[in-house]
A and B are shown apart, each in its own frame.
Chain A
Amino acid sequence: MSIMTYRQALHDTLRAEMLRDQNVFLMGEEIGVFDGSYKITAGLLAEFGEKRVRDTPIAEEGFTGAAIGAAMLGLRPVVEIMTINFSLLALDQIVNHAAKIYGMFGGQAKVPLVIRTPGGGGQQLGATHSQNIELYYAFVPGMKVVAPSTPADAKALLLAAIRDDDPVLFLENLSLYNTKGEVPDDDTPAEIGKAAVTREGRDITLIGYSRMAHVASQVAEQLAASDGLDIEVIDLRSLRPLDRGTLIESVKKTHAAVVLEDDWLTYGIGAEIAATISDGAFDYLDAPVRRVAMAEVPLPYSKPLETAALPSADDVIGAIRQTLDAVGHRRR
């Protein structure tokens, strides 16, 4: 066990996988000479050379497609897209090609591709540079989408993503790169599609992923101290496949849930989770599933507006209180 940052865990895992498997190689903008826009790939060009650490021009559609083609012939490309915002320029290759090739051609060619990319708002980068659009990929059969919130998961899920035979969008988060945590020394991959119950409780279930998994934990701690609430927290870790079983089991126990998401409300991940709970635990629910999400606007640059638009711990606490009021009303 060692303590390290999320950034370090990603870096070390990439390096270890490149040492383990000659077929693993990296592509992306500024990952080599520049050491990575967020320094995840620092030093890897020097160690592995240009053949396996390929700096690309600003051509997201082109190099993502190239990675898909290389993956079809058995290589294991790990593509870095500088931020998830720029993945929009590669949308065709990801959705129409990476996600379709295996199924549409009757299982003849696999696409063992990983696309690493950070999302995240809250840094005053404005509307084009602050989006959380992992949902676009989680919508598509054929894609897997994972979203680690801790350094340990960054490692375990990246190992899993690289060793997986299908295309995986690996969601990082700008605000998590410097967070620290314990990381096991052994290289056991996570199971993609498995959520984690990061805190057990009986009163209500909080569900989040990536940055919002942290907000959920903080709120749970805070309300345990202030109100004696016993809150269960689930970190989704994987958006597709979605671990419906863990969600349903939790709500069967707590009878209420609040979903936290860092993207827009309408048609969001929270809607899918609410539907899942309503399908699988309707008879156990004592209140409607509430969602806490971003305001439905292009994210403004102005700090007060940006802060107001993003979901906050206070918004979550408000949603918990409303939900518990409704529960109390039902149980009365």
Chain B
Amino acid sequence: MNTPRAATPSGAAHGQHLLTQMLRVRRLEEKCVELYSAAKIRGFLHVYIGEEAVAAGIMATLDPEDAVVATYREHGHALLKGVSAGSILAEMYGFQQGCCRGRGGSMHLFDAATRFYGGNAIVAGGLPLAIGLALADKMAGRSRVTVCFFGEGAAAEGEFHESLNLAALWQLPVLFCCENNLYAMGTALSRSESQTDLAVKAAAYEIPAWPVDGMDVLAVEEAARRAVDAVRGGGGPHFLELRTYRFRAHSMYDPERYRDKAEVARWIERDPIDLLRATLEGAGRLSEAEWAKMQRDVDAEVSAAVEFAEAGSVEPVDELLRFVYSEIRSP
């Protein structure tokens, strides 16, 4: 990699910003679990608890004009891309105030206004779409970046390989972010891949790729900045393998017999929020009062989002047949 190393912003304010972002995702996800238990949220629910440093670190390096594509574990990505917590929760309530009018649900969040081009509930389904977004930007000569998040489980699908090849062949401005949390449902990486070093797979397509400690948000941000700058500068696709872990079950139904409790406990010791908080406190960049205020602010945001969702309403049933075909002609 010979792209110049871009400076990562430092200082208390920036560190606290990253901490806040991770905390926002954490608290929103905890609320989702609670609301699921209360049957306010239905369908499948996959939470991102433990993996927050990945989305927070990468999003910190993006411009509003950059695009994001994610998976069904995407509430945090949507939130950090700028979709409001209220419209995310309202979506999961199935209400028309939700980002997709209640038609998508937890696995299918989408918000064109913030260039959040979707959760995607088909494993690896987001990769071809992401390279298409990047292709359109490249064809129009815009210097935007498309970031595509996907789990390591997606690396087994043909769509993963076709997309990496096309992106490299056409030198598309896309950053592939593989969220390697070591399991795809109950399948450990080593039970699903002959080559478990995912960066090597990307390198086979001539895509610059490297692994990153996905529990350390500062490391994620630094790697992402380097990669995003390179992509934006015309360096073609890049690939990050973010080594992370999900602290909870795959979805709400999962007895977790495929991994042992000690392993989970070891990873929880490296909780990304605790890690950054300790770093900031150690460096005198986060006072107790600041931490307390941060928590209050985040709690207030989540409470307001719940209130917003609670006050929502379902789309009238007589609108059922809308949105099958375009309602407004393109100019």
Contact = CB atoms under 8 A, between A and B. Distances in A.
B324 A297 contact: yes
Interface in B281-331: 314-315, 317, 319-321, 323-324
A29 B153 CA distance: 11
A58 B94 contact: no
Given A59-B158, A125-B105, A302-B101, 16 more contacts: A30-B186, A34-B187, A34-B258, A35-B257, A58-B187, A59-B156, A60-B157, A89-B122, A89-B157, A123-B43, A124-B105, A128-B125, A301-B94, A302-B103, A304-B94, A309-B320
Contact of B321 (A29, A129, A296): A296
Contacts of B248: none
B184 interface: yes
B37 interface: no
Nearest to B41: A124
Given A55-B191, A128-B121, A301 B105 contact: yes
A62 B157 CA distance: 8
Contacts of B319: 305
B3 interface: no
Contacts of B103: 126-127, 298, 300-302, 305
A126 to B, nearest CB: 5
Contacts of A129: 43-44, 107, 121
B43 A34 contact: no
Size category, A interface: 35 or more
A33 B256 CA distance: 10
A300 B96 CA distance: 11
B279 interface: no
Contacts of B101: 302
Contacts of B320: 295, 297, 300, 305, 308-309
B102 A29 contact: no
Interface string A278-316: 000000000000000001111011111100110000000
Interface residues of B, number: 41
Contact of A124 (B94, B193, B257, B323): B94
B108 A58 contact: no
Dominant SS at the B interface?
loop
Nearest to B193: A57
A58 B156 contact: yes
Contacts of A124: 42-43, 94, 105
Contacts of B191: 33, 55
Interface string B88-103: 0000001110000111
23 contacts: A33-B258, A34-B187, A55-B187, A57-B156, A57-B184, A58-B124, A58-B153, A58-B184, A59-B156, A60-B157, A61-B158, A62-B158, A89-B158, A89-B159, A298-B103, A298-B324, A301-B94, A302-B96, A302-B315, A305-B94, A305-B314, A305-B319, A308-B320
A139 interface: no
B143 interface: no
B43 A126 contact: yes
Contacts of A86: 122
Dominant SS at the A interface?
loop
Contacts of B192: 56-58
A240 to B, nearest CB: 26
Contacts of B156: 57-59, 62
B169 interface: no
Contact of A58 (B42, B104, B123): B123
Contacts of B43: 123-126, 129, 301
